[in-house]
Amino acid sequence: MDAVPISWYLILSAFMFAMGVTGVIIKRNPIVIFMCIELMLNAANLAFLAFARQQAQLGAQAAGQVYAILVMAVAAAEVAIGLGIIVAIYRLRDTINVDEMNLLKF
């Protein structure tokens, strides 16, 4: 699929990232905010893989893919912790609306 230029992938990645930022800013449901963070991480992954295709050496091409895998591992850890925090907050306060979260310590 060498007919598709790298810049198309990067513009698509920029669009996904912008949608993720928009969601994080305007949404009030923390679960949807986490989904938007996933969207941003995937946009970064797409950019990593697209930039990897622009490199000449095999080592640099592989580095982009290794980066993508490490990002996925970090995203998995972040989701496990984040959803755990959301469930813990729901147990304590019976709501997860981020506008009502105004304390760091209960």
Partner 1 sequence: MFGQILFAIMALVIVVTSIGVVAVRNPVRSALNLVANFFALAVLYLFLYAQFVAAVQIIVYAGAIMVLFLFTIMLLNLGSPSELSERGEIKRPVTWGLALLFVIVLAGGVFVRLGKAQPAADDLGTVQMVGKFLFTDWVYPFELTSILLLIAIVGAIVMAKRRL
Determine the distance from the C-alpha atom of residue 57 to the mean position of all C-alpha atoms in its chain, rounded to a whole number: 28
Contact code string over 21-60 relative to partner 1, x by CB under 8 A: xxx-xxxxx-xx-xxx-xx--x--xx--xx-xxxxx-xx-
Residue of 44, 97, 101, 106 interacting with partner 1 (CB under 8 A)? 97
101 binds partner 1 (CB under 8 A): no
Using DSSP's 3-state secondary structure scheme, residue 53 falls into coil
Smallest gap from Cβ 37 to partner 1, in A, equals: 11
Q: Say if CB 72 and CB 45 are below 8 A apart.
A: yes
77 binds partner 1 (CB under 8 A): yes
> Half-sphere exposure of 33 toward its Cβ, with a 13 Å CA cutoff?
15
